[in-house]
Amino acid sequence: MDRRTFLSYNAAALAVPAALTTYAEAAAASGLRPAPIDFSGDGPAPGSFPDRWICGSESLMDNTDPPVHVHWYNSHTAILRQNKAYSFEAPFAPLYFGNDRVLLLDEGFTQLRTNWDLRGVVDECIADWCKRHVRDPASLELLVAFSHLHADHYAAVNQFADRPNTRYMGLTHEEMLGFWGMTDFPEQRITLDLGGRDILIWGSPGHVVSEFAYYDSYTQILYTGDMFYRGRCYITYWQPWFDSMARLIAFCDEFPVSHVMGCHIEISRDGTDYPYGTTWQPDEAPVQMTVEDLRQTSNSRRRSPNRASISPAPCSSAIRPAASPRSTPIPTDTTDAFVARISGGVRMRKGASR
Amino acid sequence: MPLTRAQGLERHAFKAVIRRYLAACPERSMPHTRSAPGSTQEPAPSPTPTPSLPPTFAGNGNLATGYNPDGVRHTDSAVPTAPGGPVRHDYAATGPAPGRLGFRWINGSIVAATNTDPRVQVVQYNEDTFVLRQNVCVHWEAPFVYLLFGNEGALLIDSGATANPQHFPLRETVDAIVARWCQMRGRPSTPLTIALTSGEDIAQNQGLKQFIGRPRTTIVPPPIAAMKAHYGFAGAWPGATGMIDLGDRIIEVIPTPGTHRDGVSFYDPYCDLLFTGDLLFPGRINIGNDRDYVASLIRLRDFAARNPILFVLGGHIDMMFAPGRFYPRFATNKPYERILQLLPEVIDDALRHAREVQGRDMMLIRPDFVLFNGVSPDQRTSVWPEGVPQITPPYPF
C-alpha cells in the first residue's frame, strides 16, 4: 500500500466492527440487519439425536463428565440432558430458538447455581446460537417453561429470577395455565410464536394434573414430558391419561410428527428396566420414540385398562397411588416387584429383573 | 387449653391443618370458583397441591378440583396480547392468589468457610411476590427479605443483617429482580419502597445502607418517631393502621411492638400473607416488653378474625423440624430447619403462652417457637411442653 492509497483508505470502516463488542452491534454498524431465519418449509427440519448421551458412571465421585450434555439437534435446536451423576432423574430439556424468543422446556434437577449452573449453560447456548446467526443475545427473550409440576422439571426456576428479558412459569396449576393464557385446559391448544417458529401446546394430564404436551412445528418433535416416555410412565389418574393419549394420537393424525420425545430414559436398548434411582445406564435406549410406539401403547392400554403391565411398546406403565408418588418406598431389587406389589399381579416381562 | 398429644401431632401434619383451616372458613373453602359454561363438574378449590410432600413428589394435583380454576388470571400470559404498553395486573383476588414456597432454604454448611451457596437465595412465590434469604454463612441470623410488586411500585420488607454489598449483594439482587419484573410488565422502571418490620433490629436494618441514593426509592425512616410520622401513626400508635399503596395492592401496616419498640407487621391482601418480622416467627422470640407483646398479639388476633390469612411469615427460622427443638444462636449449619411459613392458628397459640410468661422471667418452649422473657437469649430450661413428642434430632454430622 503506497502513501496515497494509505491516506485515502477508510481505516475507520475497517476498525469499527472490531471495536464493537457484539455481532449485532457490528451488524447494525455496518448497516446489515440479520435476515430473519425462515423456519417454514416442507417436512421436518433435519436433525439428529446422539448415538449416546452422557449417562452417569459406575463410581459417581469419579465422574468427569460435565453436569449437562448439550446436544445440538440442528442449528436452531439444542437438547440438554443432565448427567446421571448429578441426579438419577437425568431429565431432558429441549431449547428451541426462534427469531424473537428462546424456549427452554424443563430444567435439570438442580436448585442453586452453585450446585450446577443451568442458567450459565443456557446462556452459553444462547450466546453460541447468537454468534452463529449474528444476533444480540440481549435481543432474545427467554421463556422458561416446564412440562409438568414435578421438581426434577422445575427446580432451577429461581436461577432465572434476576436474568434480564426472561419469563418463567410459576409453581401452581393456576400459574402454569396462566403462563400460556389457557382458559380451557386440557383441550385448548394454544400457539406460541417464537418468531417464525410455532410451538403448539395443550394439556396432557394423567401422570399429574398439571402437564402439557409441546409440539415444535419446525423439527416436528412432539414432546410428551413424563406422560409418555421411554421408561416407567407413572400414571396417577387413569382416565385423564387415556384421554391425553387419545389427544396425542388425534394430534398425530392431524399433524406430521418426526419424533416423540419424553423427559427421561429408564430402559436399556434390549428392553431391560433400569430400577428407580439408577445412576449409571451404560446401554440406555434412545430418548426418541416414534408415532407408532405411541399408537401401540395406546392400544395395549385399551386392552388392559385396570392392571399395570409391561407393554411391548417402549413405555411401561405403573399404577402409583395418587397421594404418594415416587415417595413410596421402593424395593431395591427390581422395579417390577414394585409394580407387582402395588397392583396385585402383573404380566411380567421376561428378563426384566436386574 | 393445652393441646392434647394427638392435636400436637396433628399440628405437624400440614395437610390436615390446611383441610381444617379450609373447613373452618366456608367462604374461602372454594377460593377460585367459576364453573365453565356447560361444565357439569362441581366447582372446587384450586388444585394447588398442599405442600405435604417434598417438592420432588408434590404436584400430582387433584382431579376433583377441576382443571380451570379462577386463579389462572393472576398470571400474565407469556405471550402478551397487546405488546408495547405496560401490563396492568389484576390484583383483585377472591381467595389467596396462587403461589408456592416450593423450595428448601439454603441453611449453612458443616464448614462455614467453604460454603458455596449463593449469598442471597431468591425464591419466587408468584410473579409479584419474592422471598429472599441471606446465606447463613454470611450472617448466622439468616434473615428473610420480602419483595412485593404492585402496579405502581414495589415494596421491600426488611433489608438483611449485613451492610457490605460484597458479602451480601442485596441491592444488586433486588435491582435485577425489579429490572426483570419491569421488562415482563412492559415498564421502564418502577418505584421502590423499603420498609422495615423494625428499624432498631440490627438483623434486619443493615442492608438499608446499600439503597441510599437509589433513584425512585422511598425508605421508611428507621427512627421510631420518623417512622410513626411516615405512616401517619402520630398520636394513634399503636391503635391505628397505616398503608403502603403499591397500586391495586394495598399493604396494611399494623403496629406490633413487643420484641422491638418500633415493631410493625405487614399484611398483603393479594396473597393473604402476614409478615411479622421478629414478633412471631419459627424461632427464639426475645420479648422486649411483655405487656406490649401481648397487646400486639391481641391486635393480630383481632386482625386475623377480620382478614383471611394463609401464612404468617416471619423474619428468621431457628426451629428444627422436630417440634420444640431449635438451633442455638450463631449456628451456621442448620440442616434440619423447620419450614418458614406458620399457619394463622399460631397467633392464638402465641397469645395464650405470651400471657403465661407475662410478668415472669422465663423461657417457654412451644412446638413452633420459643418465648424468652426477661432472660438471656441463651437461657435453657428442663421444662418440656405437655403433649409435644420429644424427638431428638440427629447430630448434623
Domain map (residue ranges) of chain B = 10-70, 112-373
In a domain, A200, yes or no: yes
Distance CA B110, CA B115 (A): 8
Query: Over the stretch A218-237, which tens digit does the pLDDT of each residue have?
Result: 999 999 999 999 999 999 99
> Of the candidates A173, A203, A326, which has its C-beta nearest B57's C-beta?
A326
Q: Residue A5's pLDDT is what?
A: 44
CA-nearest residue to B96 within chain A is A174
> Which residues sit opposite B129 in a β-bridge?
B126, B148
Tell me the nearest-neighbour CA distance from B186 into chain A, angstroms: 11
CB contact under 8 A, A161 and B60: no
CB contact under 8 A, A166 and B78: no
Nearest CA among A148, A275, A263 for reference residue A207? A148
Does an H or E element contain B250, and which?
A: strand B250-255
In a domain, A350, yes or no: no
Show Cβ contacts of residue B302 under 8 Å, excluding neighbours closer than 6 positions: none
Tell me the nearest-neighbour CA distance from A52 into chain B, angstroms: 27
Residues of A in contact with B104 (CB under 8 A): 111
Length of chain A: 354
Q: Residue B81's pLDDT is what?
A: 52
CA dihedral sign, ordered B227, B233, B239, B243? negative
Do strands A259-262 and A221-225 pair parallel, antiparallel, or not at all (unpaired)?
A: parallel
Distance CA B150, CA A27 (A): 39
Residues of B in contact with A170 (CB under 8 A): 75, 98-100, 124, 126-127
Taking a C-beta distance cutoff of 8 angstroms, is the pair A236, A207 a contact? yes
Entry pTM: 0.76
Per-window interface: B 296-315 vs A, CB < 8 A:
none
> Of the candidates B102, B126, B176, which has its C-beta nearest A162's C-beta?
B176
CB contact under 8 A, A158 and B103: yes
Residues of A in contact with B49 (CB under 8 A): 149
What CATH number should be reported for the domain holding residue A267?
Answer: 3.60.15.10
Q: What is the DSSP string of B106-130?
A: P-B-SSGGG--S-SEEEEEEETTEE
Distance CA B179, CA A160 (A): 12
State the amino acid at position B122 in one-letter form: V
In a domain, A41, yes or no: no
Specify the CATH number for B112-373; select among 3.60.15.10, 3.60.21.10, 1.10.10.10, 2.40.50.140: 3.60.15.10
Distance CA B73, CA A217 (A): 28
Q: Residue A316's pLDDT is what?
A: 53
Q: Residue A302's pLDDT is what?
A: 55
Nearest CA among A343, A280, A282, A287 for reference residue A315? A287
Range of the domain at A227: 52-343
Cα B178 to the chain's mean position, in Å? 20
- The total of structural domains in chain A comes to 1
Do strands A77-82 and A68-74 pair parallel, antiparallel, or not at all (unpaired)?
A: antiparallel
| Interface residue B135 vs chain A (CB under 8 A) | no
Does an H or E element contain B357, and which?
A: helix B345-357
Residue B177 cell numbers, joined: 429482580
Distance CA A285, CA A272 (A): 9
Distance CA A236, CA A324 (A): 10
Residue A4 cell numbers, joined: 496515497
In a domain, A176, yes or no: yes
> Of the candidates B56, B69, B173, which has its C-beta nearest A150's C-beta?
B56
Q: Residue A332's pLDDT is what?
A: 33
ipTM comes to 0.71
Residues of A in contact with B46 (CB under 8 A): 172-174
In a domain, A321, yes or no: yes
Show Cβ contacts of residue A107 under 8 Å, excluding neighbours closer than 6 positions: A91, A93, A118, A144, A146, A153, A154, A155, A156, A157
Q: Residue B295's pLDDT is what?
A: 97
> Which residues sit opposite A317 in a β-bridge?
A233, A309
CA dihedral sign, ordered A20, A24, A28, A31? positive
CB contact under 8 A, B126 and A322: no
Q: Residue A315's pLDDT is what?
A: 52
Q: Residue A60's pLDDT is what?
A: 86
Q: What is the pLDDT along chain B (397 residues), one digit of tens a residue?
A: 343 444 443 433 433 434 444 444 433 333 333 333 444 444 444 455 444 554 445 567 778 778 988 888 888 777 655 566 888 899 998 889 999 998 899 999 888 888 899 999 999 999 999 999 999 999 999 999 999 999 999 999 999 999 999 999 999 999 999 999 998 898 999 999 999 999 999 999 999 999 999 999 999 999 999 999 999 998 889 999 999 999 999 999 999 999 999 999 999 999 999 999 999 999 999 999 999 999 999 999 999 999 999 999 999 999 999 999 999 998 989 999 999 999 999 999 999 999 999 999 999 999 999 999 999 999 999 999 999 999 988 876 6
Low-confidence ranges of chain A (pLDDT < 50): 1, 3-21, 24, 31, 304-309, 312-313, 318-354
Neighbours of B382 (CB within 10 A): 4
Does an H or E element contain B321, and which?
A: none
CB contact under 8 A, B100 and A192: no
Interface probe with B: pick from A106, A175, A320, A330, most Cβ of B within 10 Å: A175
| Interface residue B206 vs chain A (CB under 8 A) | no
> Of the candidates A168, A171, A178, which has its C-beta nearest B74's C-beta?
A178
